[in-house]
């Protein structure tokens, strides 16, 4: 980039708090004044034209303008900096002068008529077990599909689209303004490159129709809420021979009455009575595979965790299965009979008023701290 000799705001003759519209209007005025087509052979006018174009390229971009206001032109010097007077400049010129020269915004490049179809999203609810073990679920998806009457051509059967005479099938109209080449979408064919004199009666010339599609989705074991499955090519049909979009199935797993999940582990709260926890017991615990017998050792505390290895959920990455974690919750009886109370009181006396060794340690510490 040629070094800027003057402040960019000065070049465009605007104040530093000028609005975007003020900057655009000032650039239009300066560029028209110094445009090389209006000043053939005038090197000074050519340099002024480049100067005001460089100023507009920076000040019309909010982020670049903020950098310029803070650091000046130095923010755009060195490797990766500078101003583009090539293709990017053509975009600036066509955007500003589109109305002036009678054409809309364009980038001067050929544009394909084929269009990829839109992607679709489908929210799928699963039970806890379906997510854990995987399953196959039928889904119904409304989507745009290729019209089978005209095979997506949009023309009545027996006829064919005709090459657009205005753009000769390119889909664009190109104009030359001095050393600038500007393109815009062909108004005759809408950028399709062809016209249809007799549209298909089923799709009305669109080439696609809305249908309800029945699909079967294979759910891998181990999915969780938020997991996304991509079904390639099952989205909306493309246009002009373009490929179909994709269908994204987004998983939501319903809560379970007994289980909750932590990564690949399944957590289950198991209530135990005081005698079971104190004396130990053989119990049956529910797992995602059914009931499982396990031994509760004597003196088990509330909150204790026991793991059943490999009884959890499969890892999606193939790293085996998690564990089934039994979380013990010791229940304190709310109502006691007279005899039960007497027995508990005898137990307390026989243990020297010590309800539990842990409580003795706790109250000993309290006594040490507070006397």
Supply the CATH classification number for the domain 120-159+204-253.
2.60.260.20
- 93, 108 in Cβ contact below 8 A? no
pLDDT the model gives residue 282? 94
pLDDT the model gives residue 123? 94
What would the DSSP string read from start to end of 344-362? HHHHHHHTTT-S-HHHHHH
CA torsion 105-107-113-117 (nearest 10°) is -80
Are 8-85 and 120-159+204-253 in the same CATH fold?
A: no
CATH number 3.50.50.60 given to 8-85? no
- 271, 302 in Cβ contact below 8 A? no
- 156, 198 in Cβ contact below 8 A? yes
- List the beta bridge partners of residue 282: 295
In angstroms, the Cα distances linking 353 to 86, 341, 346, 347, 359 are 91, 15, 10, 8, 10
87/104 Cα distance (integer angstroms): 17
* Cα–chain center distance at 248: 11
Q: At 184, list the tokens.
A: 């815009």
- At how many degrees (to 10) do helices 87-101 and 20-34 cross? 90
| Closest to 27 (Cα-Cα) out of 83, 75, 81, 93 | 93
Choices 2.60.260.20, 1.10.10.10, 2.40.40.20, 3.40.30.10: CATH for 259-332? 2.60.260.20
296/28 Cα distance (integer angstroms): 85
Specify whether the backbone of 357 is left (phi greater than 0), alpha (psi in -120 to 50) or beta.
alpha
Per-residue b or e along 45-54, where b marks 16 or more CB atoms closer than 10 Å to that residue's CB: beebbbbbbb
Report pTM: 0.56
pLDDT the model gives residue 110? 35
- Domain chopping of the chain, boundaries: 8-85, 120-159+204-253, 259-332, 336-371
- 287, 277 in Cβ contact below 8 A? no
pLDDT the model gives residue 125? 96
**DSSP class of residue 118?**
P
Name residues of the chain where pLDDT drops below 50. Answer: 1-4, 78-82, 84-112, 355
- Read off the pLDDT of residues 169-202 as tens digits, 9 standing for 90 and up: 777 777 665 555 577 778 777 777 788 888 888 8
């Amino acid at each position: 980039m040629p070094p800027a000799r003057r402040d960019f705001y000065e070049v465009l003759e605007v104040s530093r708090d000028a609005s975007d519209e003020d900057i655009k209007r000032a650039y239009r005025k300066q560029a028209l004044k110094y445009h090389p087509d209006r000043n053939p052979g005038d090197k000074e006018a050519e340099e002024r034209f480049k100067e005001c174009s460089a100023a507009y390229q920076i000040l019309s971009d909010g982020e670049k303008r903020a950098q310029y206001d803070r650091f000046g032109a130095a923010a755009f010097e060195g490797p990766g900096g500078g101003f583009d007077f090539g293709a990017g400049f053509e975009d600036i010129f066509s955007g500003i002068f589109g109305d002036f020269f009678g054409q809309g915004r364009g980038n001067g490049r050929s544009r394909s008529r084929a269009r990829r179809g839109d992607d679709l999203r489908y929210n799928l609810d699963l039970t806890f077990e379906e997510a854990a073990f995987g399953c196959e679920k039928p889904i119904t998806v409304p989507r745009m599909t290729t019209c089978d009457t005209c095979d997506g051509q949009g023309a009545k059967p027996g006829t064919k689209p005709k090459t657009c005479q205005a753009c000769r099938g390119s889909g664009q109209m190109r104009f030359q303004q001095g050393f600038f080449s500007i393109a815009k979408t062909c108004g005759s064919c809408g950028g399709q490159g062809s016209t249809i004199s007799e549209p298909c009666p089923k799709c009305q010339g669109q080439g696609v129709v809305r249908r309800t599609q029945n699909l079967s989705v294979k759910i891998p074991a181990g999915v969780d809420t938020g997991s996304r499955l991509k079904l390639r090519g099952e989205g909306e049909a493309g246009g002009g021979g373009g490929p179909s979009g994709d269908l994204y199935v987004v998983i939501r797993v319903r809560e379970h009455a007994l289980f909750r999940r932590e990564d690949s582990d399944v957590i289950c709260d198991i209530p135990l009575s005081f005698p079971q926890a104190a004396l130990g017991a053989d119990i049956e615990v529910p797992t995602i595979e059914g009931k499982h017998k396990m031994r509760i050792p004597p003196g088990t505390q509330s909150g204790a965790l026991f793991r059943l290895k490999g009884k959890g959920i499969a890892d999606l990455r193939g790293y085996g299965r998690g564990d089934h974690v039994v979380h013990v919750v010791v229940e304190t009886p709310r109502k006691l009979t007279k005899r039960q109370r007497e027995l508990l009181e005898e137990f307390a006396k026989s243990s020297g008023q010590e309800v539990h060794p842990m409580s003795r340690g706790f109250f000993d510490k309290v006594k040490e701290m507070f006397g």
